[in-house]
Amino acid sequence: MKLEISLFRFDKDSDYLPYYTKHFLTLKDEKNLLDILKRIHENEEFSFLDSKDSIFVVNKKFLFGLTALEDIIKIFGKDLIIEPISIKRAYKDFLINEDDFYSKFEILERFCSSEDNTFYNNQKIYYYASNTLSYKEKYIGDALLLLASKLIDENSDKRSDILKILKEQKYGASFHTNLKNRVLNFDTNIEDNIKSIQEELNFLKDFNEKTIKFEDIQIDFNLKNSFKNFNITLYNKDSKFDTFLEKFEANFINLENLDLAIKSFFINPKLTYFVASQILLSAFDEGADFLVVFNNDDFFIFNNKLKEIERISNREIPLPIIHISELQMLASGDFDKAKKSFKNHKINPRII
């Protein structure tokens, strides 16, 4: 089996911008990602941490260097893009300045033992995997929220003091975005522990904005329009529609499924607008004809809050948003019903 690998390279002392080198590797007895990097290093020197604790980004997913190669190929295929855990903080290939990570520990250091310090250091993957860092570098980080959860569980008498400190942070727990789609083989208990802290701080609330009520989709229907030659981006795809979407001949553009942090929208709407802008701009720049959403809440954010999204991105984003039920209307030829529904759109798809 042969892998095609794009390897991140950057030297702050000689390079103005990062670049990628291409490597075609016929597998021998490599067992994990570190083995691959060491094999490439034999022919072309570059800097990386050869350790059981090393972390990398492969095809936008954060994972450990000891992750089995078999699992990586099964999930991503044979074309791999390998990057450091922070491109912005890289100074020599895969080596990064981690001062930001260690400085955040100081916020709760007074409550910690040496074991707690070790625990915090072991949460590094969750710190750098957070998409929030692309919005606010001063975010206290998910590693600290996990540390807070551990400290409270083990020392209930410190609960009020720890929560008070967390609530005082300008870029604290209300800036958390879900890690599920960012980390390979993600343990959902991690997200549960962070949410427990957010709930303690009253930073979560069910999304209750008034939005359009769309019709339920009919999975079995007569397909009249297959959207051949259309480029369609799907956001937050619900797997129950897989069979429905298989009927289409469209080119589906795969983008990173970023979390809109809708449950903290009431306290931190700008975070949601920023993530929404990342999603829309990626879809638009990839040449999507429109973006399909699968629930009413997502439609409300992308459609009703478009002006706020454009303002935070400082760009116009003329990308139509279509609800999955509207896609079915179009596919089944029910154009009159679709036209009526499109009247509620900030950007009329104009594809009928």
Residues with Cβ within 8 Å of residue 160, at least 6 apart in sequence: none
User: Residues 193-211: what's their mean pLDDT?
Assistant: 91
Residue-wise burial string across 273-299, b where 16 or more C-beta atoms lie within 10 A, e elsewhere: bbbbbbbbbbbbeeebbbbbbbbbbbb
For residue 112, with 0-12 CB atoms within 10 Å meaning exposed, 13-18 middle and 19 or more buried, which class applies?
Answer: middle
What DSSP character marks residue 217? P
Q: Number of helices and strands (H, E) in the chain? A: 14, 11
**The tokens of 159 are what?**
């609960």
What pLDDT does residue 56 have? Answer: 98
pLDDT at 132 exceeding the cut of 90: yes
From 1.10.1060, 1.10.10, 1.10.3470, 3.10.350, which CATH number describes the 99-200 domain? Answer: 1.10.1060
Query: Which pairing describes strands 231-234 and 251-253: parallel, antiparallel, or unpaired?
Result: parallel
The pLDDT mean for the chain works out to 94
Residue 277: both structure tokens together? 């802008």
Residue 222: pLDDT band by 50, 70, 90 thresholds?
confident
Give the CATH architecture of domain 2-96: Roll (3.10)
At 198, phi and psi to the nearest 5?
-60, -40
Enter the DSSP assignment of 165: H
The answer, yes or no, to whether residue 22 has pLDDT greater than 90, is yes
Residues 144/183, Cβ–Cβ less than 8 Å: no
- The answer on pLDDT for 202 being more than 70 is yes
Least confident of 27-41, 174-188, 202-216, 223-237: 202-216
Looking at the DSSP assignment, which residues form a beta bridge with residue 57? 62, 83
Q: Say if residue 210's pLDDT is above 80.
A: no
Residues 53, 141: Cα–Cα separation, whole Å: 19
**How far is residue 248's CA from residue 327's CA, in Å, rounded to a whole number?**
11
The conformation of residue 110, written as its DSSP 8-state character, comes to G
Q: Pairing between strand 61-64 and 290-293?
A: unpaired
Q: What pLDDT does 320 receive?
A: 95
* CATH class belonging to 231-342: alpha beta
**SS3 at position 81:** strand
Residue ranges of E strands in 188-330: 231-234, 251-253, 290-293, 321-323
3-state secondary structure of 37: helix
**Which stretch of 92-101, 168-177, 229-238 has the lowest confidence by average pLDDT?**
229-238
Amino acid identity for residue 312 in this structure: I
Domains 99-200 and 231-342 share a fold: no
Residues 240 and 238: their CA atoms lie apart, in Å, by 5
Ranges of each domain in the chain: 2-96, 99-200, 231-342
Strands (E), 205-287: 231-234, 251-253
Number of C-beta neighbours around residue 343 at 10 A:
7
Tell me the pLDDT tens digit for each residue of 23-57.
999 999 999 999 999 999 999 999 999 999 999 99
Q: What are phi and psi of 13, to 5 degrees?
A: -85, -15
* 190: enclosing H helix or E strand: helix 188-200
Poorest-pLDDT segment among 102-116, 294-308, 331-345: 331-345
pLDDT band at 217 (very low <50, low <70, confident <90, very high): confident
* Token pair 């549960």 in the structure block, residue: 192
Distances (CA, A) of 270 to 234, 298, 327: 23, 15, 29
pLDDT digits 0-9 by tens, 103-130? 999 999 999 999 999 999 999 999 999 9
How far is residue 305 from each of residues 209, 328, 352, measured CA to CA in Å?
Answer: 11, 24, 24
Contact between residue 194 and residue 176 where contact means Cβ atoms under 8 Å apart: yes
Top pLDDT among 218 and 91 is at 91
